[in-house]
Structure formats: structure tokens, C-alpha cells
Structure 1
Amino acid sequence: MPRWMLDAGPQRVLVASNFVYTLGSGLYLTAGVLYFTEAVRLPAGQVGLGLGIAGLLALIVGVAVDHLADRRGARGIYAATLVVQALATAGFVLVDGFWPFVGAVCAAAAAKAAGTAARSPLIRHYGGERPQQLRAYLRAVTNVGISLGAVLAGWVVQVGTLSAYQLMVAGNAIAFVVSAVILLRLPSVAPLPAAGGPRWIAVRDRPYLLLTVLDGVMAIQFKVLTVAVPLWIVGATTAPHWLISATMLTGTVLVVAFQVRAGRTVDSPAAGARAYRRAGVAFLIACSLLPLSAGIPAWAAAALLLTAVVIHTVGELWHSAAGFEVSFALAPHHATGQYLGVFGLGAGLAEALGPGLLITLCITWGRPGWYVTGAMFALTGLAAPPAVRWAHRHRAPHPEPAPAREASTA
């Protein structure tokens, strides 16, 4: 781990808060869909539809909070979103039908999108000259937390009782509250003054919006391992159910080991463009291997699934490094929250459309749908380099303000 990251107190606070948050998230990412389909007994199609509705709401909330974090201070906004997310997640235990499910996941998704937006100015402020590297480090730590959460979720899936699933939900909510408490030790960042010109400049930046859309399409890949693969293992293969946690752990260990290194090699928008292209090819290969795990012996299915997950995760490393680089490098300092929030709309697009799309293609349609999904990722990767060049050429020069003053920690 880069030594400079560990020397700065505020960076350690961000890392600690993020670690606890993702420890809870690892529970939900690994077994959340199965909680609603196996414990609550909702049809997979309804789960995909509800998650899509929640994702669309998150798109709207994210943009509003981006600007608020720039102008009102990011730390307090971020902490508040964590508390709201904890309350919404705790509400999962009360879900007994489709509409209560929609209400709970909408509240949780909106709070998550708002928190992601509010955290971006903190990363840029405390990230030094290369906030992209801090973002890569945070993602590596994120996957440590997710991997530990995935181990616990593996026990939940293996037990398979309603009580076990509800215990998982409670642990997730508690982790969010603890994360918010740790975050209060972070020195608050004074709001950034607004620059002249239009207020919502990010939504007028067409090249940046195109990159947002492309990154959003490729971000559907994050749902492959958390939505499509668990449902595929349970419904289409003879592989043991504990392999769901094994696939999650395989991916997270690789991210922990190599995300910071991958981020170091992607150090310019042009390098980010090339990384997008390589990621698309990796996703195409992985999506071509995954459907072959159906109809073969359990040991062979497990070996093939793990191989595909390794290849998919290599693509994930390149995709994440590319997104970190182009989103920060092409965003003006005075509108960091707004720009990175708009870029986060891509992830919101994946949250909204990804689960339903993957369930329709890969689970309902089956093997051909996996090939279509891989082709979608590959074509998106090919479209990214010209889009990055366009955004880089058309980036208007913005005066960078002096670093914001730190306020008290209380």
C-alpha cells in the first residue's frame, strides 16, 4: 500500500469509515438478491423491476446532492446519507410484498447515491495531487470489507433460514451507523465558492455526459457477479451454493491485491481510454465462459465459473481505473461534487437497468443472453477512446481555487 496514504490522518479516517461500510455492504452484495427471492419469496422478475425503479430514483437524488455537497460541506451531508441508508436497510426485515420492497430499496438506493456523490469532494480535498490514487486505494480497502462480508453471507446462504437472512440485514444496517460515527472524526471541509457562469455546468458538458453514459453501460458489469452469477449458480448449474461466496471472494481478493497497481498505470485520460477498451474485451471473454458451466459436473462447473470470475475481475480492474482517471481528470475543481455526481449517474444507470437487464438476458433467456451481454461490454469499450478524446479536446479551462480551509472536527 502506498505509504503516503497511511501518513495522512484524514485519509485514515476515510479508509476506516469506508472499510466498516463495505463490511456491511459485502453481506448485501453477496446475498441481498437471494434474501428477497429465497427468504421473502419475491419472483426474480419483481426483484429486478424493483431494483430498476430504485436505480432511477437514485439518478435524480444523486444530481441534487452533488451540488449540495459542493456548497454546504461534504462531510455532514455524507454522514447523514449513511444514517438514512442504515434506516432504509433495516426496513428490509419488514418487507412482505412487492410494494414494501420497492419502498425500502428506493430509500436505500437514494441514500447510497447521495453518499457516493457527497464523498467525492472529500476524496479530492484529502487526496493530494492524485486523488485518483486515493480513490483506487479506497476501492482496494472496499474489497477487503466486501470479502469479509461475503464470508459471513456464505454462511447465511448455506443456512438459508429467514432468521439468518434477517440477521444479515441487521448487521448491514449496524455497519452503516458505525461508518457514520467514524466519519465524524474527519475534519470538515469548507464549502467551495461557486464560479461564474451557469450553475449546472456539468449537465451542459456534452462530451462528459457521453462518457457518463458509456461508463454507465460498462458499469452493469458490477451486477454480473452480484446478481447474474448467484442466480445462475442456483438455477442453472450443479455447482454447490457456497460457490457464490467463493466467486465473490475471488474477485475481491484480486481487487485488493491489484487495484492500486492498476490505478498507477492509468495516469492520463488517454491511458484511461485504452483501459476501457481492454476491459470490454475481458468482459466479453468472461461472459462467453460463464454459460458453459450449465449442464456439466459440479467440479467442472466450479472450475469454469472461477476461471470466468478471474477474467471478469481483470476487466473490472481496468474499468475502475479508467473511470477514476477520466472522471477526476476532466472535472473542474470548483465543481467536483457536481461533475463526479453527474459521472455517478452512469453507476446509477447500472443500478437502475443492470439487475433487470441481466436477469432478462442471462437468467430468463439463458445462454444466448450471456453472449449478448459480453458483446455489449466489448462494443462499449471500443466506443470509449473516441469519447475520451472528444471530452479532452473540449474541456474548457477553469481557474482552480485555493485549497479549501479545514473546519473544526466536531
Structure 2
Amino acid sequence: MKATDLRGPARTLALVQLISRTGDGAYYVTSALFFTQIVGLSPAKLGLGLTIAWTVALAVGVPLGHVSDRRGARETAIFFYCCAALAVGSYIFIRSFPLFVLAATLYAIGQRSGSAAQQALLAGVVPKDQITTVRAFLQAGYNAGLAIGAALGGMVLFFDTREAYLIAFALDACGFLVAALVLLKVPTVAQTPAKEKGEKSQTVLKDRPYVAISLLNLILVLHGPLIDVALPLWIVLHTEAPKWVVAAMFVLNTLTIVVFQVRVARRVTNMTSAARYVVKGGLLLGASCVVFAFSGSGGSAWSAVLLLLTATAIQTLGEMMQMPATWEISFGLTPEGRHGQYQAFFGSGLTVAELIGPLVLTGLLVYWGSFGWILLGALFVAASFLMVPAVRWGELRLDAAKATAGEAQ
């Protein structure tokens, strides 16, 4: 896709990502400290509440994705973004743990289901051969928004007052509301008609190749909580590197994706190239784990910094290859009219990674050390190679379903 092709619905969806994630960036940086230091929740209650919230969002993701197919992706995305805005706005009134769980759950459902509906909308308004490249533009907007929001959140932490935190939440709520208004500029997509009496129910959970691909992708997206949670602990407990290198690694990862993700995504044009890039991405993620392991070998502080930044660069390149490849696969293997539930299920892998990733990666890397890094790298490589036959399986199933549908007409 040429740069001049990013017009109309594609540009609008990229703007939606930038606006909504700017507020989210400020929220992510400030929310934990607000609830523990201002509201007075214990860290244990905070963790329990968030686990409950995201578990509920995970459980209702596919049914709500089906609602998106039936009621319209644009309308569903707008509704759930408004729910997220309402949830964040309600934080002003929270004084107890039950109210926190209720608001956090509404936020998690609104954020995740709104994003899934937006992916279904993308599939409906963008030509199929351009979805992956446009999705890369959206990912660049996503990361840019998070970076801007994180900087604004840093200012809130500098002032560290209740009023400053509430301004951050107001920014997030307004971001979702403005994003919902901007979505009105995107054309509506056709709704999936209700199944006729006696017609068999067809859900993503019955699509075994797609389920297998989603589970393999769950392993690959563990690189997400890696930088956020496990690496800071690894750096402090196992290396001589200064703490500021965590921020440098985050900036390197985020800005690199903003600048180069679209260029990499343009090379993923079909299932064959997608499978190839998944393998390349998995190999690079595995290689980065090996370099991370060497950063704890006991050298000088500056050698540790060099190894950590090198590993981050390798991991980021692997991430930029893996992500567009799995976008191409997830959209390409989705039957027409079911993008809502399929994208909700595929995206649930990221939710699961956010739930189990901190615990699994902390145990694997902090307590097992370098061996844990090698094992994690092996998991990345194995998952990427297994994706190739899984994709072929999915193509065969989709072709068979199309042939069956053609005979029935």
C-alpha cells in the first residue's frame, strides 16, 4: 500500500487508535499508584481486582464479538468505547474494593470488546489485500498514542496529587468519547443475518485450526509483558545495569515500532509470506532471549546495558515481523461475516498473556535465571514453526467450508 492510499476509513481508524490510546497511556502509568496511594487499596487487592476484571472480559469476549457481527461492528465499537469512558470517569467516585472491581470490569470489557469490534470494522471497510498494511498503520498509531499518554502520565506522577490523577482519568475518558465520535465517520458494515431455524451454529470455538493458531499466538505475544514486568526485575536482580535502562528499552521498542512497523508489514502479502515471517519473527525472539541471558553473566554495568539494548533491538525486530504476519493469518482465515467473534477470540490471547504473563515470566526468568531465558526462547521458536502447519490446516478447512457453501447454493 502506498502512503497516499491511507485515506478515508483507514485514516479515520488510525486516528481513533491515536486518540484512544493516548488516554490509555496516561491511565496505565498512573492507575496503580492512584488506587494504592490515593484510594487506599492494598497491592494484593489491586492485583485481585484487575485479575477478576480481565478474566470477566476474557470470558465474555467471544459472545460480545458475535453481537458485533449481528448488530454492526461500527455501532458495537462506539457502544463499548462509551462504556470504557464511563468506567474511567467513575473512578472519581470510587472509595471501596467492590466499586473498584465493578468499574475495572466495565473498563476491561469496554476496552477489549471495543477493540475487537474495531478490528471487525477494519475488515469490513478496507480491501482484503490491504488489511495487514492498514493494521500496521493502526499499530503505529497505537504505540504513538501510548508513548504520548505515558509522557503525560509522567507529569501526573511528578505532581502526585489526587487532582492530577483525576485529570489523567478525565483525559482517558474523553479520549474514548472522542474516538467514539470519530468512528461515526467510518461507513457501517453489513450485519450478519441470524441463522435460520434448524441451521447449525457456527462459532469460532468449533474452528479447531483457528483455535490452535490462537493458542500458538498466545505464546508469541508473551513478548508484551516481558518488557513491562519481567525485564525490570531481571535487570535489578540479575545484572549490573542501572535502572534507567528500563526506560531506554521501552523507548527503543516503542519508537522503533512507530517508525518501521508499516515498512515491515508491507512485505506480508499472503498466507505464504505470513507463515514465513512468523518463523523469522520467532527465530529473532528466540535469539533476543539468548542475548538477554548473557546480560546477567556478571560483566560490567556498561556491557550489561549494551547487551540489554541489543537484545531489545532484536526482540523489537522479531515483534515487528511476528505481529503483521499473525494479523494476516487471523484475518485471512476468518469466514465472511464472523470477524467480530473471530477477532475477539484471537485478541483474547493478548488478554491471557497479560493475565498469566507476569506470573509465568517472573517465575521463569527471575528464579530460573539464564536457563529460563533459553527455555523461553525455545518456546518462541517452537511456536513459530508449529504455526506453519497450523496455517495450512486452517486454509484447508476454510477452502472446504467455501466448497460446501458453494454446493449448497
For residues 35 and 291 of structure 1, the distance between their equivalents in structure 2, rounded to whole angstroms, comes to 34
- The 1:12/1:314 distance shift into structure 2, 3 A limit, reads same
1:376 aligns with 2:379: yes
Alignment-derived partner of residue 141 in structure 1: 141
Match of 2:180 in 1: 180
* Corresponding residue of 2:217: 215
Shift of 1:55: 3.2
Aligned pairs (5 A) from 1:5-404 = 5-7=5-7, 9-29=8-28, 50-91=49-90, 102-130=101-129, 131-155=131-155, 159=158, 161=160, 163=162, 167-194=167-194, 197-233=199-235, 239=241, 241-290=243-292, 292-293=294-295, 298-363=301-366, 366-395=369-398, 396-398=400-402
Evaluate the alpha carbon distance shift between residue 11 and residue 46 of structure 1 in structure 2; reply closer, same or farther with a 3 A threshold.
same
Q: Is contact 2:125-2:189 (8 Å) kept? A: no
Q: Distance in 1 between matches of 2:167 and 2:375?
A: 37
Q: In 1, Cα distance between the equivalents of 2:307 and 2:161?
A: 31
- Distance in 2 of aligned mates of 1:265 and 1:143: 20
Name the counterpart of 1:407. Answer: none
Q: Quick one: structure 1 residues 358 and 54, their matched pair in 2 at CA, closer, same or farther if it must change by over 3 Å? A: farther
Q: Secondary structure at the match of 1:116?
A: helix
Stretch of structure 1 that moved more, 21-30 or 376-385: 21-30
Structure 2 counterpart of 1:398, one-letter code:
K
* 1:199 maps to amino acid: S
Is the Cα contact below 8 Å between 2:9 and 2:126 reproduced in 1? no
Amino acid at match of 2:83: V
Q: 1:42-85: per-residue Cα shift (whole Å, max 9, x none)? A: 77776665544433222222111111111111112111211222
1:201 deviates by 3.1
Contact persistence 1:194–1:334 (CA under 8 A): no
Distance 1:2 1:38, change over 3 A: farther
Partner of 1:408: none
Structure 1 residue 40, shift from structure 2 partner: 7.3
Render the CA deviation track for 1:128-148: whole Å, top value 9, x for unaligned.
232222212211222222222
**Cα offset, 1:166, TM superposition:** 5.3
Residues 177-212 of structure 1, C-alpha deviations (whole Å, 9 max, x = no match): 222222233333342335674333322111111111
The structural deviation recorded for 1:119 is 0.9
Q: Residues 49 and 356 of structure 1 are in contact (CA less than 8 Å); yes or no, is this contact kept in structure 2?
A: no
Instruction: Say whether the 8 Å CA contact 1:52–1:351 is kept in structure 2.
Output: no
Judge which range, 184-193 or 202-211, deviates more: 184-193
Q: Is the 8 Å Cα contact of residues 83 and 180 (structure 1) preserved in structure 2?
A: yes
Q: 1:129 to 1:170 in 2, by over 3 A?
A: same
RMSD: 3.3
Counterpart contact for 2:81–2:110, Cα < 8 Å: yes
- Return closer, same or farther for 1:372/1:170 CA change in 2, 3 Å cut-off: farther
Q: CA deviation at 1:91?
A: 4.9
Please, what TM-score do these two structures have when normalized by structure 2?
0.84
- 1:361 partner amino acid: L
Percent identity among equivalent residues?
36
Query: Residue type of the partner of 1:23?
Result: T
Residues 62, 344 of structure 2: 8 Å contact kept = yes
Please say if residues 51 and 355 of structure 1, whose CA atoms lie closer than 8 Å, have aligned partners that are also in contact: no
User: What amino acid is aligned across from residue 219 of structure 1 in structure 2?
Assistant: V
Find the residue that maps to 1:333 and give its secondary structure: coil
Query: Residue 26 of structure 2 aligns to a residue in which SS?
Result: helix
SS of equivalent residue, structure 1 residue 222 = helix
CA distance in 2, matches of 1:23, 1:340: 23
**Offset of residue 331 of structure 1:** 0.9
Distance 1:27 1:42, change over 3 A: same
Describe the shift of the 1:65–1:6 C-alpha distance in structure 2 as closer, same or farther (beyond 3 A).
same
Q: Distance in 1 between matches of 2:27 and 2:307?
A: 25
Which region of structure 1 is more displaced relative to structure 2, 366-375 or 220-229? 366-375
Q: Is the 8 A contact 2:81 2:179 kept in 1?
A: yes
Looking at CA atoms only, which structure, 1 or 2, has the larger radius of gyration?
2
Structure 2: distance between partners of 1:97 and 1:394: 50
Partner of 1:405: none
Structure-1-length-normalised TM-score? 0.83
Cα displacement (A) at 1:316: 0.9
How big is the shift at 1:14?
1.4
CA shift digits 1:190-236 (9 cap, x unpaired): 42335674333322111111111111221222121223234545666
CA distance in 2, matches of 1:176, 1:333: 28
> Secondary structure at the residue paired with 1:199?
coil
Deviation string 1:1-26 (CA, Å, 9 cap, x unpaired) is 8334333x222221211111121233
Contact 1:30–1:245 under 8 Å retained in 2:
no
Using the alignment, how far apart are the partners of 1:37 and 1:280 within structure 2? 38
Q: Structure 1: which amino acid aligns with 2:312?
A: V
| Runs of 5+ unmatched residues, structure 2 | none
